[in-house]
Amino acid sequence: MPQKESRPQTTKIPTSASVSKRVGGETTRWFCPAKLNLFLHLTGRREDDYHNLQSVFQLLDFGDWLEIELSDTNIIEFDCNQPELCNNDNLVVSAVEHLQKYASQRGLTTTGAKIKLDKKLPVGGGVGGGSSNCASALLAFNQLWQLDMDPQALLTMGLSLGADVPFFIHANTAFVEGIGEILTPVEMAPAWFLVVCPPVHVSTAKIFSNPLLTRNSKAITIRDLDALGLPFSGFNTLEAIVCNDYPEVKAALNWLKQFNQQARMTGTGSCVFAAFDNEREVSKIASRCNWPHFVARGINQSPRQQKNQVSPTIVN
C-alpha cells in the first residue's frame, strides 16, 4: 500500500545508445490506469507451471502517473514517492532498459530523461499498478525517442516484462485468456467501483502453490459473458484460498459485503471491490470505510497520454 509521503530517492542508469538529439525541458504526463478482474477462472496448469486463465480486465479512471522530462544528458534518473521502488528492479526502469537495448541494436539514438512516478495504487494489490507503469513507460519512450516500434514488437517486449503488460499497452477493457496475453476488447456497462485495499501483501507464489487451489474451471467463450452479470457480479477462483490465508483480506471483504453481496477480490488480492451503478451511492459507502481505499469509474478505453490533469488520491 502507498506509504506516507517521504522525500523521493533517485535511481540513475546510463543510456546505452549515443545522444544526438537536442531536447527541451517539456514535461509530459502519462496515465497508468488500474484494472480490476471482474471475474477470474483458472482453467488449467501448463507444463511451464504458468496457469491458463480467463477473466475480464476492467480499466479504471484511477491510477498512477508518470512524468517524463527528456534531457540532453546520457543519464536516466528515476524518482518515486515510494522510496522502496527507487531501484533498478522496478518495471519502469526495466522498460527503459529494454528500449535502450532495442535502439542500440538498430543504431538508433536515445536521450537522457528524468522520470518521476507518482504512485497512488497499492503495490501488490491485484490492480495491475506495476504492469500499468511498465506499459506506459514503453509507450512513452517509444514515442518520445521516436523509435517507431510496430505494435506487435511492443506487445512482445511487454509480454517479456510481465503477463499483464500487453493488456495495458492495448489499453482496452478486455476478455483475457491464456496467461493473460490473449486479449479481446469488450464493452462493459457503466459502473462505479469502491476498491478497498487491506494493508497486507499477498504472495502470489504461495497462493498458486496451495494444494487446495482448483484449476479446473470450465472454459467459457466471449458469448457467455452476459450470463455472468458483469460488472456487477462475478467469481474469483483464488478468493477462498486468499481469505483463508490472509485474515485482513477476509475482514475487508466481509465489511464490503454488508453493502453489496457481490463484492469480490481482484487478481490474487489484496484488494477487494464492489460495483455500483452511481457515484453518489459508492461515495456514501466509501465515507464509512476505515481501510485505505479509492473510488473509480469503469472505462472501456484508456487515454494513453494526458497533460495537466489531476487524478484522485488514495485515502489513508
Which residues have a catalytic role annotated?
A: 35, 164
- Whether the Cβ atoms of residue 4 and residue 313 lie closer than 8 Å to each other: no
Place of cell 518521476: 116
The three-state (H, E, C) secondary structure of the chain, written as one string? CCCCCCCCEEEEEECCCCCCCCCCCCEEEEEEEEEEEEEEEEEEECCCCCEEEEEEEEEEEEEEEEEEEEECCCEEEEEECCHHHCCCCCHHHHHHHHHHHHHHHCCCCCCEEEEEEECCCCCCCCCCHHHHHHHHHHHHHHHHCCCCCCHHHHHHHHHHHCCCHHHHHHCECEEEECCCCEEEECCCCCCEEEEECCCCCCCHHHHHCCCCCCCCCCCCCHHHHHHHCCCCCCCECCHHHHHHHCHHHHHHHHHHHCCCCCCEECCCCCCEEEEECCHHHHHHHHCCCCCCEEEEEEECECCCCCCCCCCCCCEC
Half-sphere exposure of 31 (CA within 13 A, CB side): 21
Q: Which CA distances in Å does 140 have to 115, 162, 242, 269, 293?
A: 11, 17, 35, 28, 28
